[in-house]
Amino acid sequence: MFSNPVRHITFDAHDPYAVARFWSAVTGFPVHPDDEEGDDEVLLDPGRPEVPGLLFIRVPEGKTVKNRVHLDIQPVTGTRDEEVERLTGLGARIVDDQRRPDGLGWVVLADPEGNELCIERSTSERAAAQA
The answer to whether 89 touches 44, Cβ cutoff 8 Å, is no
**Shared domain check, 131 and 68:** yes
Q: Which of 17, 45, 62 is the last residue of a domain?
A: 62
Question: Is 97 in the same domain as 123?
Answer: yes
Q: Do 35 and 14 reside in the same domain of the chain?
A: yes
Q: Please state the rounded mean pLDDT for residues 51-79.
A: 91
Return the amino acid letter for 69: V
Q: What pLDDT shows up at residue 127?
A: 86
Number of domains in the chain: 2
- pLDDT category of residue 1 using cuts at 50, 70 and 90: low
Same domain, 74 and 109: yes
Report d(CA 42, CA 118) in Å as an integer: 22
**Same domain for 120 and 101?**
yes
Of the residues 62, 81, 107, which one is the last residue of a structural domain? Answer: 62
Measured in whole angstroms, the distance separating CA 3 from the mean position of its chain's CA atoms is 23
pTM of the predicted structure, to 2 decimals = 0.89
Please tell me whether residue 125 adopts helix, strand or coil conformation. helix
CATH of the domain at 55: 3.10.180.10
- The boundaries of the domain holding residue 27 are 1-62
Please identify, among 21, 37, 62, the residue that sits at the C-terminal boundary of a domain.
62
pLDDT in tens, 21-32: 999 999 999 999
